[in-house]
Amino acid sequence: MVHLSSFLLKTYHGGHIVIRLAMAGHKQSNRPFYRIVAAYNKRARDSKYIEQLGSYDPLPNIYNEKLVSINSDGIKYWMGCGAHPTKPVAKLLGLAGFFPLHPMTVTETERHRALAELAEEAAPEDGVKQQQL
Amino acid sequence: LSLMALRLRLKNSFCHSFDAPVLTSSISEVINLFLGSPDAHVKPQFLDSEVQDILTRITGLNLEKVFRPIKQELKPPKYKLMTDAQLEEATQSAREQAQRLLKMPPVLPERKPINDVLSEDKILEGMDTAKYVFTDITFNIPHRERFIVIREPTGTLRKASWEERDRILQVYFPKEGRRLTAPPVFKEENLKVVFGQDRHEDMLDLCQVQFEPDSSEYIRVHAATYEDLEKMGKYDLLRSTRHFGGLVWYLVNARRVDGLMIDMLQKDLLQDAVSLVGLFNKVHPHSETAQEASSQQAYGLDLLKIYAKRESQRAGYVELALQAYEQTSAESTV
């Protein structure tokens, strides 16, 4: 597949540009923190990127909020230069209202709800069994 | 309806940056032009040039107090050898610097809560237990226009409320001295303790740093401070600071100028007292004082006498003070 970005960018790098999540925790275990970043596709996930376009903190804070920052001007620029967003970034931006809603978000919600209902049905049965015993 | 829209638009243009210089033409004059008839009265706003002039004159300029030692890095003092002319220049520049330091923080009406819902997506319900807060960190937009939206676990995408906005802007664009949660000094009981120690000015400075000028917290703390000052009669604490204009504006709008008037007369500040009554007449032109003053074209001491007769609750006190002033001025001339 010939990537559009190679024609729009000045230097040929042998890959295309992506907007993806890069981990920024500096190897602290059990505390993830992601940067939304425009980088070349072939580079390692956490290594040198072209520009940082935001951040995402997957652990909720004391107000039960997950903070996401988006540099909308930057994202528009890089998408105009031919960058491709990855699935997680596309999902986040869909939740934000910047992109239209990603179809996998809906599917995941439905799966999550089905699992939750199964767990609810299992739990009262366990409770009844405990009483009988 | 168009008048309200115009006023809102002019007010909104102030909200973007509070360091903007004061407009040379007053808002009420502009609105009067649009209204057509000069008799129609528009209430003078805090930021009108005439009101600001009066308030700056009343605030006074005590250089000793403005430049009193504040906690800063310890440096050895510098001594300079100057001629008289250079000393004059240095005092003049110090005066200008003091005027800039005394620039009054704006008094704005309380901000209306934001209740905007951008989209309701029932299909997303039950996706996650936490909210997602999306902030736009593009550099060149004013903070008031920035998009901060929240996706709730129920799937609604709504704009963040004012308190959430303040907190999140402090996370991504921190202002020096501002904390994420308000310090507990601002609770009622703790405020009383601080006022007992006579630290009203520090309190107002802290409030200035922590809250936005149109938030309810800011207005509440300022109202509490001004009430306490008026009850105790400690107007001198704020006299040469930038909060004095706000205090005077609050008292004039609440029509309780008596204490301040008596304080001024006791300190022999006649010009200030006259300007105060002038400001009162401008803000309440339908009161008895204003109507009598305009009918008699009164100036100076006569304004004060009219005010003492008509409006003040402690008329006796004000008249006594006026008589004492007249006696002292007669003695000094004689």
DSSP calls for B102-161: TPPPP--PPPPPP--EEEE-GGGTTS-SSEEEEEE--TTS-GGG--EEEE-TTSEEEEPP
Backbone torsions φ then ψ of B52, nearest 5 degrees: -60, -40
**How confident is the model at residue B44, as a pLDDT?**
75
Answer whether A72 sits within 8 Å of B134, measured CB to CB.
Answer: no
Q: pLDDT value at position B28? A: 52
* Cα–Cα distance for residue pair B264/B307, rounded to 1 Å: 14
Work out the burial of residue B208: count CB atoms within 10 Å of its CB; fewer than 13 is exposed, 13-18 middle, 19 or more buried: middle
Please, what is the average pLDDT of chain B?
Answer: 80
Taking contacts as CB-CB distances below 8 angstroms, the residues of chain B near A106 are 123-124
User: Which residues does chain B have within 8 Å of residue A66's beta carbon, measured at their own beta carbons?
Assistant: 128, 130-133
The answer, yes or no, to whether residue B256 has pLDDT greater than 90, is no
Question: Which residues does residue A39 pair with via DSSP β-bridges, in sequence order?
Answer: A18
Do B125 and B155 contact (CB within 8 A), yes or no? yes
- B310 vs B92: which has the higher pLDDT: B92
- Mean pLDDT score, B99-111: 85
* pTM score: 0.74
CATH of segment(s) A17-120: 3.30.1320.10
Task: State which residue of chain A sits closest to B117, comparing Cα positions.
Answer: A97
Is the Cβ pair A67, B123 closer than 8 Å?
A: no
Q: Which residue of B has its CA nearest to A104?
A: B124
pLDDT at site A4: 58
For residue A13, give how far its alpha carbon lies from the nearest alpha carbon of chain B (Å): 28
Q: Identify the CA nearest to B191 among candidates B229, B154, B157, B164.
A: B229
Contacts of A25 (CB under 8 A, 6+ apart): A31, A32, A33
Cβ separation B124–A113 shorter than 8 A: no
State residue B42's pLDDT score.
67
pLDDT for B38 equals 46
- pLDDT, residue B124, reads 87
Contact A112 B135 (CB under 8 A): no
Q: Are strands B117-120 and A84-85 parallel, antiparallel or unpaired?
A: unpaired
pLDDT at position B68 is 73
For a pLDDT cut of 90, what percent of chain B falls above it? 21
Interface of B with A in 101-160 (CB under 8 A): 118-119, 121, 123-139, 147, 149-151, 157
Question: Which residues of chain B lie closer than 8 angstroms to A97, CB-CB?
Answer: 118-119, 134, 149, 157
Contact B303, B278 (CB under 8 A): yes
Of residues A41 and B311, more confidence is placed in A41
What is the per-residue pLDDT for B13? 41
Q: What pLDDT score does B322 carry? A: 78
CA distance A66 to chain B (A): 5
Does residue B174 carry a pLDDT above 80? Answer: yes
What is the interface size between A and B, counted as CB pairs within 8 Å?
A: 77
AA identity, residue B275: S
Span B195-228, pLDDT tens digits: 888 888 888 989 999 999 889 999 999 999 999 9
B81 touches chain A (CB under 8 A): no
The encoded tokens of residue B254 equal 């609440």
Span B5-26, pLDDT tens digits? 444 444 444 433 343 334 434 5
On chain A, the residues whose CB falls within 8 A of the CB of B125 are 109, 113
Block residue for tokens 């790098």: A13
Q: Which residues of A touch B181 (CB under 8 A)?
A: none
Tell me which residues of chain A, numbers 19 to 38, contact chain B at a CB-CB cutoff of 8 Å: none
What angle (nearest 5°) sits at the alpha carbon of residue B277, between those of residues B274 and B282? Answer: 125
The answer to whether the beta carbons of residues B261 and B273 sit under 8 Å apart is: yes
B88-92, B136-140, B200-204, B293-297: lowest mean pLDDT where? B293-297
Name the stretches of chain A with pLDDT < 50. none
Contact present, A92 and A56 (Cβ < 8 Å): yes
The pairs formed by A74-80 with CB atoms below 8 angstroms and a separation of 24 or more are A74/A38, A74/B138, A75/A19, A78/A17, A78/A19, A78/A38, A78/A51, A78/A53, A79/A19
Partners of B130 on chain A (C-beta within 8 Å) are 60, 64-66
Helices (H), chain A: 5-8, 72-80, 87-96, 103-132
Residue linked to tokens 């991504």: B172
CB contact under 8 Å between A97 and B134, yes or no, is yes
Q: Which of A65, A70, A113 has the CB atom closest to B131's CB atom?
A: A65
Query: B116 contacts in A (CB within 8 Å)?
Result: none
If one compares B312 and B247, the residue with the highest pLDDT of the two is: B247
Cα–Cα nearest to B245, from B137, B75, B98, B106: B106
pLDDT of residue B18: 42
Angle at A59 between CA A48 and CA A71, to 5 degrees: 50
pLDDT for the residue A37: 93
Provide the edge-to-edge strand list for the sheet that holds B156-159. Answer: A84-85, A17-23, A34-40, A51-56, A65-70, B131-136, B148-151, B156-159, B117-120
* B 159-198 → A contacts, CB under 8 A: 168, 171-172
**What amino acid occupies position B4?**
M
pLDDT band at B127 (very low <50, low <70, confident <90, very high): confident
- When pLDDT is averaged across residues B112-133 and rounded to a whole number, the result is 88
- Give the residue extent of every domain in chain A: 17-120
Show Cβ contacts of residue A36 under 8 Å, excluding neighbours closer than 6 positions. A19, A20, A21, A52, A53, A54, A55, A56, A69, A70, A89, A92
Chain A: closest CA distance from residue B282 (Å)? 47
Q: Note whether B138 contacts A74, CB cutoff 8 Å.
A: yes
